[in-house]
Structure 1
Amino acid sequence: MSDIIIREARAGELPALLAFEQGIIEAERPFDETFVSGDFHYYNLEVMIANEQAAVIVAELNGELIGSGNARIMPARPYNHFKQYAFLGFMYVQPAHRGKGINSMIIAELVRWAYSKGLYEVRLQVYAENAPAIAAYEKVGFKKHLTEMRLSTDAPVRQ
């Protein structure tokens, strides 16, 4: 994997990045019944690429983008012992390149970026049923922290 280049994304790469975003959404659609049908966006990638408070990182192989990730500086809760943290998202590797450590390389670069910004806490969200993603994040050192739960108000409350 020494031919893989991990670098910051460029504005001209927006079409490929938007395709990655739709790949993420399609992969996550089975885990979230609240998604609207059709295309939508999680991120404003164009703004994030230009923002000093965010990093959009890509993995490139032979001139082709094969993966991505981003980090954003987020304010911590008043009860945390840190003021800000890095929140990761936009984690995507093309299916043909999965299982090769590319996600780990992208995360390592995002963690370096966070550290360079004086951030010592990195967080992300993942669907509880997305076992492959959870395994990939645990492999690089993430630990489960909090579970968000939901209930639709049109469902009966069990007693």
Structure 2
Amino acid sequence: MKNIIYRVATLKDLPTLYKFEQGIISTERPFDSTLKPDPINYYDLKELVLNDNVQVVVAEINNEVISSGHAKIIKGKPYHKHTDYVYLGFMYVKPEYRGQGIIKAITETLKAWAKQQNLLEVRLEVYNDNTSAIKAYEKSGFKKHMIEMRMQIE
């Protein structure tokens, strides 16, 4: 898609990022019966934007922010080969722009930042039933790694 600019998010983007967060929650709510009723938040977006160990990026067209994602440096487990890795999250694309490779470009931008931090392991989480998101991440090179299982005890 032409004329898309990928850039680091700023505090001026927060009103749009808050809307994106609610869009993510709304999309994920059918996949997770454990979510509390609205209003809820997943992120402290201001803290993420200001944190040196996090890169929040947005995509914009004609000064309209249409997508977001973040990469966060996470301490690795003591038994893993890598000491730290990058966790991707906050992936959102406005509905009218989906299916155009924007998430792939956001992912590439975040992977480039990870390389600048000398980190080569990248992870993310996605609901098992969110097949459209899984397909998008697989197009970006991700592979399924582990399944988290849960049950409700009555």
The whole-number CA distance in structure 2 between the counterparts of 1:2 and 1:50 is 29
What root-mean-square deviation, in Å, do the aligned CA atoms of Structure 1 and Structure 2 show? Answer: 0.6
Q: Which residue of 1 aligns with 2:67?
A: 67
Q: How does 1:1-159 map to 2 (within 5 A)?
A: 1-154=1-154
TM-score, normalising length from structure 1?
0.96
Deviation digits for residues 66-108 of structure 1 (CA, Å, limit 9, x no counterpart): 0000010001111100100000000000000001111111000
Secondary structure of residue in 2 paired with 1:73? strand
Q: Which residue of 2 aligns with 1:157?
A: none
Contiguous gaps of at least 5 residues in structure 2: none
| Amino acid across the alignment from 2:104 | S
Secondary structure of residue in 2 paired with 1:80? coil
The Cα shift of 1:2 comes to: 2.6
The whole-number CA distance in structure 2 between the counterparts of 1:148 and 1:83 is 22
The whole-number CA distance in structure 1 between the counterparts of 2:135 and 2:111 is 18
Secondary structure of residue in 1 paired with 2:110? helix
| Amino acid across the alignment from 1:62 | N
The Cα shift of 1:137 comes to: 0.3
Pair member with larger Rg: 1
The whole-number CA distance in structure 2 between the counterparts of 1:49 and 1:114 is 16
The whole-number CA distance in structure 1 between the counterparts of 2:44 and 2:5 is 24
TM-score, normalising length from structure 2?
0.99
Q: Give the number of equivalent residue pairs.
A: 154
The Cα shift of 1:39 comes to: 1.6
| Amino acid across the alignment from 1:80 | H
| Amino acid across the alignment from 1:96 | E
The whole-number CA distance in structure 1 between the counterparts of 2:13 and 2:93 is 15
The Cα shift of 1:13 comes to: 1.1
Percent identity of paired positions between Structure 1 and Structure 2: 49
The whole-number CA distance in structure 1 between the counterparts of 2:128 and 2:69 is 20
